[in-house]
Amino acid sequence: MARPLLEDIQSPADIKGYSEEDRITLAEEIRETLINGLSKTGGHLGPNLGVVELSIAMHTVFSTPKDKFTFDVSHQGYVHKMLTGRAKDIHTIRQYKGLNGFLLRTESEHDEYGAGHAGTAVSAALGMAAARDLKGEDNHVVAVAGDAAFTCGSTLEAINNIAVTTKKFIIVLNDNEWSIDKNVGAIAKYFNALQTHSTYSFAREKAAEFVQKVLGDSARRLAHKIEHSAKNIILPKVLFEDLGITYLGPIDGHDTELLIKTFEYLKTKDEPHILHIITEKGRGYKPALDKPGKFHGLGPYQIQDGATPSSSLPTYSEVFGQTLVNFADKNEELVAITAAMPGGTKLDVFKEKHPKRYYDVGIAEEHAALFACGLATQGLTPFLAIYSTFMQRAYDMIIHDMALQKLPVRLCMDRAGLSGDDGPTHHGLFDIGYLRHVPDLIHMQPKDEDEFVDMLWTMAHYNEGVSAIRYPRGTGTGATIKESPALLEIGKAEVLQEGTDVLLLGLGNLFELAEETKTKLEEQGYSVSLVNPRFIKPLDEDVILRLARQAKVICTFEDHVIMHGFGASIIELLHDNDITTKVERIGWPDEFVEHGKVDILRNLHGINTETALKKVQSHL
């Protein structure tokens, strides 16, 4: 039996003397560790199983931190972490105080660039290469980007600038046909055709021979001639080589020895190269191979079959997907758009029922927003579903194209609020701040699933401009959804109770916290007003001002940073109306919140009843 290797790796230098047999053993250990460890913590299993050999080969040939690696999104960085001295802590991945689920500059000197959103690796790596050239250094820079990243405008913009910026530069195109879900669009179809075309299969073999047989000029010329002729048939030169980037591949991304030889060859080249490798997302674990979308990122699972715990309650995303299907059954003008997230947003059910009115534009949020604008100009009813953290990318379009033109685009922001284990790159804690000052925009958040459906129904019928709704990750309160949704009055809050001592405004999924606080205050003999604001913008000014005038203190609750958040809008409203009632705010601090379980982080940052009571009682 081969000796265990992974536990002895303290730095990438430790694997440089490994034999081919050692590397095989190491790959097996890494996969076993990932499958066993993530079954308890959850995480991005599929992407990491797909880059085991690639990561080993890169760290065998190159030397970080002198050489620089960038990983697009970096959700496939677990293996990199294990090979850079963090294998002993991999069981803490995405846990509070444990390893981050993405690359993090503050976590290790080997994490040269942090990430969490797609389309960043090539641009950032190009900046590193340019800095190297300016400083007269000689290190290597390697950007690893999946084929889905090539649907990002930022990736294509970077490729356009490589040849005029630097010479020594390597892009690894990790081609597995998946991002989070199945890749879409012309570029994805092109890469797939490249994999399966018989002529190019022949060229792929010759490319491998070329690397393995660098024995002389004649062999080199022969391989190049065969490769070049094949590419002229099926590879549009404008995509890479006419942009000044030499293309090599596709080769087997699970052949460690071939990858090592290829990287050794590329180290000698003083010109930009793109190495196209073919990998399997989820390699080595059948459940992940069978369901790559599910195993892109998930919670704990059973190792034997990959089964995950199920809840009797539907998630907000599931309610959203099914609700849109129901609306579209009766409204032929309703269309749904996602940016490579049909599974995450649950628009996959819409796709099944109404495929002609479903659009997945790939990882291209800016295009998705503009595309929705175009649909709206033609009288259709577009619903654009993008996570709150990714909607930030479409900010210019929200102002310049939607709001300015008063186009009725419906922004559906999933994962609003804390996103727990995914950490600061994925927390949806900023959308109130970046939307509430946009003129004429409607923004709302439901307290439960039934109100969520009412709000979606209201959005479907609102045609005077852009509207937005934010809703959290996971399940709601379990509220029963009415058979027929209600049309809400724009800007009208729900007053649950009126009192004279305290006014509690509980927004969205923190309404339950406001209810708990009300109960505790009443037990102490205080008279309490309880309001479900519903609308972040426009505020129900009449109700809020009336109740504020009769209260001694106001407390707002929001799953958002308090800086420029909902509570800040209440303070501004009172100030503008010369009301001096003190306002206390429960929300997230003005900082990037770490990763961890939601209940741990809420208690750590005072998002709880105890904190609310202390703040309120200090004014009574």
Active-site residue set:
281, 365, 393
The CA distance from 345 to 350, in Å, is 10
- Cβ atoms within 10 Å of 120's Cβ, excluding its own: 24
Cβ partners under 8 Å of residue 496, min gap 6: 530, 531, 532
Six-digit token pair at 184?
């879409």
What distance in Å separates the CA atoms of residue 297 and residue 47, rounded to the nearest whole number? 8
Q: What is the distance between the alpha carbons of residues 346 and 418, in angstroms, rounded to a whole number?
A: 19
Indicate the angle between helix axes 256-267 and 20-41, nearest 10 degrees. 110
Q: Which residue has the tokens 């379980």?
A: 597
Residue 466 tokens, joined: 């852009």
Instruction: Record the tokens describing residue 467, joined without a space.
Output: 């509207």
Alpha-carbon distance values, 168 to 140, 141, 172 (Å): 7, 8, 14
User: Do 181 and 342 form a contact (C-beta atoms < 8 A)?
Assistant: yes
Pull the structure tokens for residue 349. 């059910």
Residues 441 and 466 sit within 8 Å (Cβ to Cβ) = yes
Q: What is the CA radius of gyration of the chain?
A: 27
- Alpha-carbon gap, residue 606 to 87, rounded angstroms: 33
**Residue for token digits 């009766």?**
330
Q: How far is CA 512 from CA 256, 446, 499, 547, 607, in A?
A: 53, 12, 18, 20, 12
Tokens of residue 495, six digits = 């007053």
Q: Is 612 left (phi over 0), alpha (psi -120 to 50) or beta?
A: alpha
> Phi, psi at residue 363, to the nearest 5°?
-75, 80
